[in-house]
Amino acid sequence: MADSELVFKKSYKCPICDSSFKNLTVKQGRARMESTDFDLKINYRSIEPLKYDIILCPVCGYAALERYFERVSVFQRKNIIDKICQSFNSVFEDKDEFDFEDAIIRYKFAFLTCQVKMSKSSELGFLCLKMGWLYRSYAKSLDENETKKIKELNKLELDFLDKAYNYFEDARANEQSPICGMDEITFDTLLAGLCVKLKKTDEARNYIGIILQNRDALKRVKDKARDLKELVDEIENESEE
Protein backbone atom coordinates (compact mmCIF):
# COMPACT_ATOMS: atom_id res chain seq x y z
CA MET A 1 0.00 0.00 0.00
CA ALA A 2 1.30 3.46 -0.90
CA ASP A 3 1.86 6.00 1.88
CA SER A 4 -0.60 8.32 0.14
CA GLU A 5 -3.44 5.97 1.09
CA LEU A 6 -2.47 6.08 4.76
CA VAL A 7 -1.97 9.82 5.21
CA PHE A 8 -4.17 12.89 4.98
CA LYS A 9 -3.70 16.65 5.00
CA LYS A 10 -4.36 18.00 8.47
CA SER A 11 -4.89 21.72 9.06
CA TYR A 12 -2.64 23.69 11.40
CA LYS A 13 -2.17 27.28 12.39
CA CYS A 14 1.42 28.42 12.75
CA PRO A 15 2.14 29.80 16.25
CA ILE A 16 4.88 32.01 14.77
CA CYS A 17 3.42 33.63 11.63
CA ASP A 18 -0.29 32.79 12.15
CA SER A 19 -0.58 31.27 8.65
CA SER A 20 -2.95 28.39 8.16
CA PHE A 21 -1.45 25.45 6.32
CA LYS A 22 -1.87 21.74 5.79
CA ASN A 23 0.58 19.07 6.82
CA LEU A 24 0.62 15.38 5.85
CA THR A 25 -0.30 13.24 8.85
CA VAL A 26 -0.75 9.49 9.25
CA LYS A 27 -4.42 8.52 9.58
CA GLN A 28 -5.15 7.31 13.04
CA GLY A 29 -5.27 3.56 13.45
CA ARG A 30 -4.19 2.92 9.86
CA ALA A 31 -0.53 2.06 10.47
CA ARG A 32 -0.28 -1.63 11.43
CA MET A 33 2.39 -2.47 13.99
CA GLU A 34 4.75 -5.20 12.89
CA SER A 35 7.60 -5.44 15.41
CA THR A 36 9.56 -3.52 18.04
CA ASP A 37 13.35 -3.15 18.00
CA PHE A 38 15.21 -3.48 21.28
CA ASP A 39 15.62 0.29 21.60
CA LEU A 40 11.81 0.58 21.47
CA LYS A 41 11.53 1.66 17.85
CA ILE A 42 8.19 0.43 16.54
CA ASN A 43 8.12 -0.87 12.98
CA TYR A 44 4.93 -0.67 10.96
CA ARG A 45 3.79 -2.62 7.95
CA SER A 46 3.90 -0.64 4.68
CA ILE A 47 4.62 2.81 6.18
CA GLU A 48 7.27 4.58 8.24
CA PRO A 49 5.23 7.08 10.29
CA LEU A 50 8.42 8.85 11.45
CA LYS A 51 8.50 10.50 8.01
CA TYR A 52 5.36 12.41 8.94
CA ASP A 53 6.28 13.44 12.49
CA ILE A 54 7.52 16.96 11.74
CA ILE A 55 5.02 19.75 11.28
CA LEU A 56 6.56 22.40 9.06
CA CYS A 57 5.07 25.79 8.31
CA PRO A 58 5.73 26.30 4.57
CA VAL A 59 5.33 30.06 4.96
CA CYS A 60 7.94 30.84 7.63
CA GLY A 61 10.02 27.66 8.10
CA TYR A 62 9.07 27.00 11.71
CA ALA A 63 9.13 23.23 12.32
CA ALA A 64 8.65 20.95 15.30
CA LEU A 65 7.40 17.59 16.48
CA GLU A 66 3.67 17.72 17.15
CA ARG A 67 4.02 17.57 20.95
CA TYR A 68 6.21 20.70 20.94
CA PHE A 69 4.62 22.57 18.04
CA GLU A 70 2.42 24.90 20.09
CA ARG A 71 4.87 25.35 22.95
CA VAL A 72 6.61 28.63 22.16
CA SER A 73 7.32 31.47 24.57
CA VAL A 74 7.23 35.12 23.55
CA PHE A 75 11.03 35.21 23.70
CA GLN A 76 11.40 32.08 21.56
CA ARG A 77 8.89 33.40 19.03
CA LYS A 78 10.86 36.60 18.59
CA ASN A 79 14.09 34.66 18.11
CA ILE A 80 12.47 32.35 15.56
CA ILE A 81 11.14 35.32 13.56
CA ASP A 82 14.58 37.00 13.58
CA LYS A 83 16.71 33.96 12.93
CA ILE A 84 14.55 31.67 10.79
CA CYS A 85 11.52 33.35 9.23
CA GLN A 86 13.25 36.45 7.90
CA SER A 87 15.70 34.48 5.80
CA PHE A 88 13.40 31.55 4.97
CA ASN A 89 12.87 31.19 1.24
CA SER A 90 12.48 27.46 0.62
CA VAL A 91 9.64 26.32 -1.57
CA PHE A 92 7.91 23.06 -0.73
CA GLU A 93 6.03 21.22 -3.43
CA ASP A 94 2.55 20.10 -2.48
CA LYS A 95 3.03 16.33 -2.16
CA ASP A 96 0.67 13.53 -1.25
CA GLU A 97 3.41 11.45 0.36
CA PHE A 98 7.01 11.90 1.55
CA ASP A 99 10.08 9.89 0.69
CA PHE A 100 12.99 9.60 3.15
CA GLU A 101 14.86 12.53 1.62
CA ASP A 102 11.79 14.78 2.06
CA ALA A 103 11.58 13.67 5.68
CA ILE A 104 15.26 14.37 6.37
CA ILE A 105 14.87 17.96 5.14
CA ARG A 106 11.90 18.41 7.48
CA TYR A 107 13.88 17.09 10.45
CA LYS A 108 16.68 19.52 9.59
CA PHE A 109 14.24 22.42 9.82
CA ALA A 110 13.05 21.08 13.17
CA PHE A 111 16.67 20.98 14.41
CA LEU A 112 17.19 24.55 13.34
CA THR A 113 14.03 25.57 15.20
CA CYS A 114 15.20 23.68 18.30
CA GLN A 115 18.55 25.46 18.26
CA VAL A 116 16.99 28.88 17.90
CA LYS A 117 14.39 28.05 20.57
CA MET A 118 17.17 26.84 22.88
CA SER A 119 14.99 23.82 23.57
CA LYS A 120 15.38 21.53 26.54
CA SER A 121 17.60 18.46 26.22
CA SER A 122 14.54 16.19 26.17
CA GLU A 123 13.17 17.83 23.03
CA LEU A 124 16.55 17.74 21.27
CA GLY A 125 17.06 14.15 22.36
CA PHE A 126 13.65 13.09 21.08
CA LEU A 127 14.36 14.70 17.73
CA CYS A 128 17.78 12.99 17.47
CA LEU A 129 16.23 9.66 18.45
CA LYS A 130 13.59 9.88 15.73
CA MET A 131 16.18 11.04 13.18
CA GLY A 132 18.42 8.07 14.06
CA TRP A 133 15.48 5.69 13.68
CA LEU A 134 14.53 7.35 10.40
CA TYR A 135 18.01 6.60 9.01
CA ARG A 136 17.62 2.98 10.18
CA SER A 137 14.36 2.66 8.26
CA TYR A 138 15.84 4.38 5.23
CA ALA A 139 18.73 1.89 5.17
CA LYS A 140 16.32 -1.04 5.53
CA SER A 141 14.20 0.23 2.64
CA LEU A 142 17.12 0.04 0.19
CA ASP A 143 18.17 -2.86 -1.96
CA GLU A 144 21.01 -4.69 -0.23
CA ASN A 145 23.31 -4.08 -3.22
CA GLU A 146 23.42 -0.42 -2.32
CA THR A 147 26.13 -1.14 0.24
CA LYS A 148 27.79 2.27 0.11
CA LYS A 149 24.59 4.19 0.78
CA ILE A 150 23.53 1.70 3.48
CA LYS A 151 26.87 2.06 5.25
CA GLU A 152 26.56 5.83 5.17
CA LEU A 153 23.01 5.66 6.58
CA ASN A 154 24.05 3.22 9.32
CA LYS A 155 26.74 5.64 10.39
CA LEU A 156 24.30 8.55 10.46
CA GLU A 157 21.91 6.43 12.51
CA LEU A 158 24.56 5.76 15.16
CA ASP A 159 25.66 9.43 15.20
CA PHE A 160 22.13 10.56 15.92
CA LEU A 161 21.43 7.83 18.49
CA ASP A 162 24.63 8.82 20.27
CA LYS A 163 23.49 12.45 20.34
CA ALA A 164 20.06 11.34 21.56
CA TYR A 165 21.66 9.33 24.34
CA ASN A 166 23.73 12.31 25.53
CA TYR A 167 20.75 14.68 25.50
CA PHE A 168 18.62 12.10 27.31
CA GLU A 169 21.23 11.54 30.02
CA ASP A 170 21.19 15.27 30.62
CA ALA A 171 17.38 15.33 30.61
CA ARG A 172 17.27 12.44 33.09
CA ALA A 173 19.53 14.38 35.47
CA ASN A 174 17.89 17.77 35.10
CA GLU A 175 14.26 17.42 34.01
CA GLN A 176 11.16 16.11 35.73
CA SER A 177 9.54 12.84 34.71
CA PRO A 178 7.63 12.17 32.48
CA ILE A 179 10.27 12.96 29.87
CA CYS A 180 8.96 13.07 26.26
CA GLY A 181 5.74 11.52 27.55
CA MET A 182 7.55 8.43 28.91
CA ASP A 183 7.36 7.31 32.53
CA GLU A 184 10.62 6.68 34.38
CA ILE A 185 10.78 2.94 33.72
CA THR A 186 10.06 3.30 30.01
CA PHE A 187 12.64 6.06 29.75
CA ASP A 188 15.27 3.90 31.48
CA THR A 189 14.39 1.00 29.19
CA LEU A 190 14.92 3.28 26.20
CA LEU A 191 18.28 4.42 27.59
CA ALA A 192 19.34 0.82 28.22
CA GLY A 193 18.36 -0.08 24.64
CA LEU A 194 20.30 2.87 23.23
CA CYS A 195 23.38 1.88 25.26
CA VAL A 196 23.19 -1.65 23.84
CA LYS A 197 22.86 -0.27 20.31
CA LEU A 198 25.84 2.02 20.91
CA LYS A 199 27.80 -0.79 22.58
CA LYS A 200 28.15 1.23 25.81
CA THR A 201 28.08 -1.92 27.88
CA ASP A 202 28.87 -0.48 31.35
CA GLU A 203 26.17 2.15 31.00
CA ALA A 204 23.74 -0.48 29.67
CA ARG A 205 24.35 -2.69 32.73
CA ASN A 206 23.74 0.29 34.97
CA TYR A 207 20.31 1.04 33.47
CA ILE A 208 19.37 -2.65 33.32
CA GLY A 209 20.22 -2.91 37.04
CA ILE A 210 18.01 0.10 37.81
CA ILE A 211 15.08 -1.47 35.94
CA LEU A 212 15.48 -4.89 37.57
CA GLN A 213 15.60 -3.32 41.03
CA ASN A 214 12.54 -1.18 40.41
CA ARG A 215 9.64 -2.72 42.35
CA ASP A 216 7.10 -0.97 40.15
CA ALA A 217 8.46 -2.46 36.92
CA LEU A 218 6.05 -4.93 35.32
CA LYS A 219 7.14 -8.47 34.53
CA ARG A 220 7.27 -7.82 30.78
CA VAL A 221 9.51 -4.80 31.37
CA LYS A 222 11.88 -6.85 33.53
CA ASP A 223 11.86 -9.60 30.90
CA LYS A 224 12.85 -7.00 28.33
CA ALA A 225 15.67 -5.82 30.62
CA ARG A 226 16.90 -9.43 30.89
CA ASP A 227 16.86 -9.72 27.08
CA LEU A 228 18.99 -6.59 26.90
CA LYS A 229 21.35 -8.07 29.47
CA GLU A 230 21.85 -11.09 27.20
CA LEU A 231 22.71 -8.76 24.33
CA VAL A 232 25.25 -6.98 26.53
CA ASP A 233 26.83 -10.37 27.38
CA GLU A 234 27.04 -11.16 23.67
CA ILE A 235 28.71 -7.84 22.88
CA GLU A 236 31.26 -8.38 25.64
CA ASN A 237 31.99 -11.94 24.55
CA GLU A 238 32.49 -10.81 20.96
CA SER A 239 34.93 -8.12 21.98
CA GLU A 240 36.95 -10.62 24.03
CA GLU A 241 37.33 -13.04 21.11
Give 63's strand partners: 56
Convert 145-160 to b/e letters by CB count within 10 Å (16 or more is b): eeeeebeebeebbbeb
Type of residue found at 153: L
Q: How far is the CB of 14 from Zn ion (least distance, A)?
A: 3
Interacting residue with Zn ion among 40, 59, 116, 221 (CB under 5 A):
59
Instruction: With beta carbons less than 8 A apart as the criterion, state whether 62 and 86 touch.
Output: no
Interacting residue with Zn ion among 6, 57, 80, 225 (CB under 5 A):
57
Does the protein bind Zn ion through residue 80 (CB under 5 A)?
no
Q: Which stretch binds Zn ion (CB under 5 A): 44-52, 55-63, 155-163, 175-183?
A: 55-63
In 57-208, the DSSP E strands lie at 63-65
Does the protein bind Zn ion through residue 14 (CB under 5 A)?
yes
Instruction: With beta carbons less than 8 A apart as the criterion, state whether 122 and 65 touch.
Output: no
Residue 107 or 165 having the CB closest to Zn ion:
107
Distance, in Å, from the CA atom of 27 to the CA atom of 10, rounded to the nearest integer, reads 10
Interacting residue with Zn ion among 26, 31, 60, 65 (CB under 5 A):
60
Q: Which stretch binds Zn ion (CB under 5 A): 62-70, 106-114, 153-161, 216-224?
A: 62-70
Does the protein bind Zn ion through residue 17 (CB under 5 A)?
yes
SS3 assignment, position 29 = coil
Q: How far is the CB of 61 from Zn ion (least distance, A)?
A: 7
Q: Provide the binding-site residues for Zn ion, judged by CB under 5 A.
A: 14, 16-17, 19, 57, 59-60, 62
